[in-house]
Amino acid sequence: MNYTRTALLLAALTAFVLVLGWMLGGKTGLVIALLAAAGMNLYAYWNSDKMVLSMYQAQPVDRTTAPVLVGIVERLTARAGMPMPAVYVIDQPQPNAFATGRDPEHASVAATTGLLAMLSPEELEGVMAHELAHVHNRDTLIMTVTATLAGAIGMLANFGMFFGGNRDNGEEGGGGLGTVGTILMAILAPLVAMLVQMAISRTREYEADAAGAEICGNPLALASALARLEQGAGAIPNAVAEGHPATAHLFIVNPLTGSGLAQMFSTHPSMADRIERLQALAGFTAGPARSAWGGGKTPGPWG
């Protein structure tokens, strides 16, 4: 159900890019919108992981430089039957982690020094299992596509503001919004894109929590880690994330400070809800030979 919802939301966002282009510039605007969305996604497909790792000054580590972290990732990937991703550490006191990469064969996972200092080995295992679940589910690619589509919408809205919209330019099927319509679209379009991006991100977080609990076999350890990370992230600012809020959806917990309206529009679902779901999952899988992915099966990484 979550995969279907994600596909529908992505399709809706793509359609919105094209409709916006047509409304602002008729057939020419439609072509511009299509080329912009395709070009941005193609660039992001090949370069998004390098960009975000460089942005946060992530440093690659191995068994010599980070034996505990790398050892945990090796055990989890072997258990899940996944390729071993590149492992990075970010010199950042805020406890957090993220995954990036276009597919499981070209993936990276990164943890902050604050995360490594705060969590127990069991909790750290739960967090890294969550990130590996994102990699397995190709959420990193889904969210890259979503972010670039949202960026294309913002670019088109700015384009419409600059050129004043398509004012009856004689093109058959043109939008012809006019000045007032263009201003309204420039305000509302990015808001719609943000809401769709938020909905997709929240859906994938729930899925990664469940799959991560399956990989590590300890939903309560992940629930405990989430509670501690939310508290730590709220108390310790992340200056890079604050300067690049479009990357917030990558992290396991929201790296941005704020409350009230800012939290309402967060890319992450309610932490209380996530923890409650993991606790329920722990109760469901407590019996012998039960799996979170279907009754009557021996627990395994992917059911």
Phi-psi region of 184 (alpha: psi -120 to 50; beta: other; left: phi over 0): alpha
Find how far residue 239's CA is from the centre of its chain. Answer: 19
**Which 3 state secondary structure label does DSSP give 15?**
helix
Taking alpha carbons only, the member of 153, 215, 230, 227 closest to residue 190 is 153
Find how far residue 232's CA is from the centre of its chain. Answer: 20
Degrees, nearest 5: CA angle 215-221-225: 110
Element (H, E) at 197: helix 178-216
Question: Using CA atoms, how far apart are residues 244 and 300, in angstroms rounded to an integer?
Answer: 37
Question: Using CA atoms, how far apart are residues 303 and 299, in angstroms rounded to an integer?
Answer: 6
Ligand-binding site membership of 230 (annotated):
no
Ligand-binding site membership of 244 (annotated):
no
Please give the order of strands across the beta sheet that includes 59-60.
Answer: 59-60, 86-90, 107-112, 97-101
Ligand-binding site membership of 106 (annotated):
no
Here the tokens at position 286 are 């407590």
Q: What are phi and psi of 174, to 5 degrees?
A: -65, 160
Measured between alpha carbons, how far is residue 62 from residues 103, 111, 213, 230 in Å? Answer: 21, 13, 25, 27
Element (H, E) at 160: helix 139-163
* Residues labelled as active-site residues: 131
Can you say which residues are annotated as belonging to the binding site for Zn(2+)? Answer: 130, 134, 205
Known binding residues are 130, 134, 205
